[in-house]
A and B are shown apart, each in its own frame.
Chain A
Amino acid sequence: GESVGLHLPTLSVQEGDNSIINCAYSNSASDYFIWYKQESGKGPQFIIDIRSNMDKRQGQRVTVLLNKTVKHLSLQIAATQPGDSAVYFCAENWSFGNEKLTFGTGTRLTIIP
């Protein structure tokens, strides 16, 4: 849903471990979701997307899971590396082809060497 968070949730993970970042969305009509990675001082970078007719999609070292029943989205990053440290945002689109993306609060992922 709309992002109003003032403090980013944080997650610290040991290098080489897997990480799971969670996101709750508010609109049951949302049918397209994207995960973005944002490094400090830069714009968001597209990671992976998923449509509502799927519950899982895999990319290189990343997997997105979608649970429409509880309106929950997760991003799994395998074998984390220092370069994975960033803020991760989920974004939802309210109807396929609709222009607007609504961003979640974001989670700051820190990889511990």
Chain B
Amino acid sequence: GAVVSQHPSRVICKSGTSVKIECRSLDFQATTMFWYRQFPKQSLMLMATSNEGSKATYEQGVEKDKFLINHASLTLSTLTVTSAHPEDSSFYICSARDYKPEAFFGQGTRLTVV
């Protein structure tokens, strides 16, 4: 299957700071990338969908000014959690797809805000 690399895998930051998470498709061009959030023992909740070169589409209830998404190229999307607070602590996962419907996931990023 296709390879999606997510970095970092773990990050601890202080409350009020910003954290950037990168998602890269390594062996295909990702026309669309998705960002999910997952709480312990729960399913994945879609936060936003991003297409290369255009603004991300956020799901209802997701603050676009807090979770900044940039999809500057066909192989890279970034999620920046701005002014992070402890309640933002979670497992963030990206996925990517090209023109085919199946999406491939990154390894996830465990964010802990202290």
Contact = CB atoms under 8 A, between A and B. Distances in A.
B101 A42 contact: no
Interface residues of B, number: 25
Given A3-B43, A7-B41, A43 B49 contact: no
A89 B43 contact: yes
A83 interface: no
A3 B108 contact: no
Nearest to A31: B101
Interface of B: 1, 4, 6, 32, 34, 41-46, 49, 91, 93, 95, 97, 101-108, 110
Contacts of B93: 43-44
23 contacts: A3-B42, A3-B43, A3-B44, A5-B42, A8-B41, A34-B102, A42-B107, A43-B4, A43-B93, A43-B108, A44-B44, A44-B93, A44-B105, A45-B105, A46-B103, A46-B104, A89-B44, A96-B101, A99-B97, A100-B34, A101-B103, A102-B46, A103-B44
Contacts of A44: 44, 93, 95, 105
A44 B38 CA distance: 11
A102 B103 CA distance: 12
Contacts of A5: 42-43
Contacts of B95: 43-44, 101
Interface in A99-113: 99-106
List the 10 shortest-distance A-B pairs measured between CB atoms, nearest first: A3-B43, A43-B105, A43-B108, A103-B43, A44-B105, A103-B44, A43-B93, A43-B107, A43-B106, A106-B43
Contacts of A3: 42-45
Contacts of B110: 41
A25 interface: no
Contact of B108 (A6, A41, A97): A41
A93 interface: yes
Contacts of A106: 42-43
Interface in A1-60: 3, 5-8, 32, 34, 36, 41-46, 49
A62 to B, nearest CB: 14
